């Protein structure tokens, strides 16, 4: 069974701070996705990383896929209250396999 461990589980920071959160596994994934879920809604895809070492930027969010394709990080620069939510990583390992989801990171950004 492939597992994705996300850390930290909870994070509460002040507006304007920078932060990095992690998604780690002992298994290799073909790709990793990051989703954000806001209260009362379903998760929404932020980004997909496919190539080992790949870095993608989405405004103030920077996503990196580990060289060995076993881990990923999400860095947020100058966090804003609108970044508050649950961040889920999910790994794909084959065409007919399902996504494996991590347990999520709850981020709270205080004004």
Partner 1 sequence: DADVTQTPRNRITKTGKRIMLECSQTKGHDRMYWYRQDPGLGLRLIYYSFDVKDINKGEISDGYSVSRQAQAKFSLSLESAIPNQTALYFCATSDLRGDYRTDTQYFGPGTRLTVL
> Residues in the site for partner 1, rule: CB under 8 A?
9, 30-31, 33, 40-45, 48, 50, 88, 90, 92, 94-96, 98-99, 101-104
**Is the torsion defined by CA of 11, 68, 48, 45 positive or negative?**
negative
How far apart are the C-alpha atoms of 24 and 109, rounded to whole Å? 23
Structure tokens at 35: 């989703």
23 alpha carbon, distance to own chain's centre? 6
For the chain, give me the number of helices (H) and strands (E)?
0, 11
User: Considering beta carbons, is residue 44 or 55 the nearer one to partner 1?
Assistant: 44
Least distance in Å: CB of 107 to partner 1?
Answer: 15
Residue 81 Cβ, how far from partner 1 at the closest point, in Å? 22
Question: Taking the complex as a whole, how short is the minimal distance between the CB of residue 22 and partner 1, in angstroms?
Answer: 15
């Amino acid at each position: 069974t492939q597992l994705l461990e996300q850390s930290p589980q909870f994070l509460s920071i002040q507006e304007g701070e920078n932060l990095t959160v992690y998604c780690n596994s002992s298994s290799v994934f073909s790709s990793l996705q990051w989703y954000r879920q806001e209260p009362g809604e379903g998760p929404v895809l932020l980004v997909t990383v496919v190539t080992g070492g790949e870095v993608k930027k989405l405004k103030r969010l920077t996503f990196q896929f580990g060289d060995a394709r076993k881990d990923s990080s999400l860095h947020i620069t100058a966090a804003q209250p609108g970044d508050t939510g649950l961040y889920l990583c999910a790994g794909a390992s084959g065409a007919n396999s399902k996504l494996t989801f991590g347990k999520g990171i709850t981020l709270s950004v205080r004004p």
